[in-house]
Structure 1
Amino acid sequence: MTSLGIDIGSRTIKAVLLVDGEIREWEVVDATSQPAMTARSLLERYKSIPVVTTGYGRSLLEIEDIPSVTEIKACARGIRHCTQGARAVIDIGGQDLKVILLDADGRIAKFEMNDRCAAGTGKFLEIMAEKLGFELREFGDAAQKGAPGISISSVCTVFAESEVIGLLNKGIQRHDIALAVHQSVVGKLCGMYKRVCSQCSSVHLVGGGALNPCIKNLLESVLHIEVLVPTKPRITVALGAAVLAANGAD
């Protein structure tokens, strides 16, 4: 059985081609200013196979009779495909944060989602990294070189940006500010996690934010649990969509 899952995110579009339950191909491309066109170009490569879309822009292709599912459902199915016993998931996307609790059978038992502002998301980290003069890919490593002792009181992008500028003007080292930014993000994640998955001893971290080592290490330190990162954390949701496509979107 061959199927395709496409996760149309706010920052990137991810596609996974699944063949007999195994990932045969996968791709991550920039969403650009025309995400629907980018998604269609991916579809053109894989005609006449079952497809399911998900993500921030999944509605862009609904007019073409391509079934879509929520990111929550796709993420849950994707992580269980990777790890059968997975019970808790944190997904750090470009525009939202999700914490999901699964029951023993892999069904969604509870979840919480922050999608009303960019607070703590990949976009938030990107803006803070730029303000501090770091590339996003190096931001986590830079933060781990910082010394504790300062804090960012707001995770609202606008107010946090003002705080960062104020700290820089006071002569605070940018690595120290980077650590404070990460601590504010993890503080928000921990609050969500405790409301949803307080009894779990481990959590799977997915999405683009899973590539940030500082977030993983801070989560483990604050929550005192094991944080597991899949081999390809950015495509977990697209993988789940491909699994659902192979099963008739069920």
Structure 2
Amino acid sequence: MITMGIDVGSITAKAALIKDGKLLSTKVIITGYNAKNAGETVFEKILTEAGLNPSQIRGIVATGYGRNSVTFAGKSITEITCHAAGANFLNPAVRSVIDIGGQDSKAIVLDEAGKVKDFAMNDKCAAGTGRFLEVMARALEVDINDFGSISLTADNPAKISSLCTVFAESEVISLIAKGEERRNIIAGIHESIGSRVAAMAGRLGLASPVMMTGGVAKNIGVVKALEVKTGKPIEVSEMAQLTGAIGAALMAMTL
């Protein structure tokens, strides 16, 4: 049996195929301005690359902020449930998940069976999300993919006091004008994110092991900042960005 999970986020759209309980194939594309088209495109691309046709897919579950635009899915399920399922698939020992995506962040505590026990999320403000980092990268004229490695070279992280994307950008521009080094500004941005997300996660009482999921997990600077702020080691799978899609594909097995 082959099932598919499609996770349409605000920045990227992801798809995963599960065959008989094992990960078969994955695909990531840029969402762009049309979530519906992104869902259809990632669906077509993963099937083509896997050499499959739609009739071979037993079930499809959509998740992510654009999940309701995936009209051909059999069901849509929240990111919280799907990231929990995906994290449990990647490492059954995981008891907490921190997911930082394009437009929100979540902390999830799992029970011994890998089911959601409790969660907290920030979906009212873009601060501390992928979009926030993109805005900061543009202000600093630095490739977002280099943010993590650059921040690790900082010797005196700058203080970013504002948690608002707009005001934080103004702070960054002011720091640039004062001659502050980019590496210290970037490290300060990561510390700000770490503090914000750790405070949210702390209300749940994170249990170890902790796994970080979502696209921001590729940023080693944010991961390190979170480890410091939470006081816990954080596991990052090479499939971190695809965790939601994997979880959705697993959920599709029950349709």
TM-score, normalised relative to structure 2: 0.92
Match of 1:231 among 238, 241, 249: 238
Change (3 A) 1:54 1:149: closer
- What code does the residue aligned with 1:208 have? G
Contact 1:100 1:197 in 2 (8 A): no
Name the counterpart of 1:103.
111
Q: Secondary structure at the match of 2:187?
A: helix
Unaligned runs of 5+ in 2: 48-52
Q: Secondary structure at the match of 2:54?
A: coil
- What code does the residue aligned with 1:213 have? I
Per mean C-alpha deviation after superposition, the further-off stretch among 140-149 and 237-246 is 140-149
Contact 1:88 1:197 in 2 (8 A): no
* Matched length: 246
Shift of 1:65: 6.0
Name the counterpart of 2:66.
57
Residues 36-71 of structure 1: CA deviation (Å, up to 9, x unaligned)? 122123434441321000000011124x46311000
Contact 1:131 1:161 in 2 (8 A): yes
Name the counterpart of 2:21.
21
Cα RMSD (Å): 1.4
Unaligned runs of 5+ in 1: none
Name the counterpart of 1:40.
40
Contact 2:62 2:73 in 1 (8 A): no
Name the counterpart of 1:126.
134
Per mean C-alpha deviation after superposition, the further-off stretch among 23-32 and 37-46 is 37-46
- What code does the residue aligned with 1:147 have? D
CA distance in 2, matches of 1:125, 1:65: 31
Residues 64-97 of structure 1: CA deviation (Å, up to 9, x unaligned)? 4631100001011111111112110000100110
- What code does the residue aligned with 2:186 have? A
CA distance in 2, matches of 1:231, 1:161: 30
Name the counterpart of 2:165.
157
1:181 aligned to 2:189? yes
Match of 2:210 among 203, 221, 225: 203
CA distance in 1, matches of 2:230, 2:79: 25
Shift of 1:3: 0.3
Shift of 1:17: 0.8
CA distance in 1, matches of 2:167, 2:86: 35
Q: Secondary structure at the match of 1:205?
A: strand
Contact 2:94 2:208 in 1 (8 A): no
Contact 1:95 1:118 in 2 (8 A): yes
1:3 aligned to 2:3? yes
CA distance in 1, matches of 2:161, 2:41: 43
Change (3 A) 1:75 1:171: same
- What code does the residue aligned with 1:215 have? V
Contact 2:27 2:42 in 1 (8 A): no
Contact 1:90 1:204 in 2 (8 A): yes
Q: How do 1:60-99 and structure 2 match up within 5 A?
A: 60-62=69-71, 64=72, 66-99=74-107
Q: Secondary structure at the match of 1:73?
A: helix
CA distance in 1, matches of 2:158, 2:5: 42
